[in-house]
Amino acid sequence: MTEEKPSDKPEGKPEEAKPAPEPAEKPAAKPTAEKPAAPAVKPAAPAAHGAAAAPAEPPKPLEPGQFGQFLKEHGIQSTRLADSSRGVETILLDGDKLDAAMRLLRHSPEIALNYLVTVSGVDNTDSFDSVYVLWSYSNNNELIVKVRIKKSDVKEDGLPMVPSISPFWKAADWHERETFDLVGIRYLGHPYLRRILNPWDWEGYPLRKDYKQLVDALNDRNPHSMR
Partner 1 sequence: MVTELTTSGLKTDEMIINMGPQHPATHGVLRLIVTLDGEIVKHTEPVLGHLHRAQEWQGQVRTWFQYQALIDRVDYLSGMFTSWALCRAAEDIDGTEVPEKAEWLRVLVSEMNRISSHLLWLGTYLIDLGAMFGFPFYPFRERDKLLTLFEEIAGQRMMFNYIRVGGVMREPKADWYKRVENFTKEFPDRVDEYEAIVTQNPIFLKRTKV
Query: Using CA atoms, how far apart are residues 87 and 125, in angstroms rounded to an integer?
Result: 24
Q: How far is the CB of 27 from partner 1 (least distance, A)?
A: 3
Which conformational region is residue 87 in: left (phi greater than 0), alpha (psi within -120 to 50 degrees), or beta? left
Of 129, 206, 210, 221, the one binding partner 1 (CB under 8 A) is: 206
Candidates 17-25, 93-101, 106-114, 138-146: pick the segment binding partner 1 (CB under 8 A).
17-25
Alpha-carbon torsion 14, 16, 17, 18, what sign? positive
- The yes or no reply on residue 197 touching partner 1 (CB under 8 A) is yes
Beta pairing, strands 89-93 & 115-123: unpaired
Q: Kindly tell me which of 84 and 225 has the beta carbon lying closer to partner 1.
A: 84
Q: Which residues in 54-93 contact partner 1 (CB under 8 A)?
A: 85-86
Cα 79 to Cα 81: distance, rounded to the nearest angstrom: 6
11 binds partner 1 (CB under 8 A): yes
Alpha helix positions (H), the chain: 4-8, 21-44, 46-56, 66-73, 95-107, 172-182
The answer to whether 210 contacts partner 1 (rule: CB under 8 A) is no
> Is residue 24 a contact point for partner 1 (CB under 8 A)?
yes
Residues that bind partner 1 (CB under 8 A): 3, 6-7, 9-11, 15-20, 22-24, 26-28, 30, 85-86, 182, 195-199, 206-207
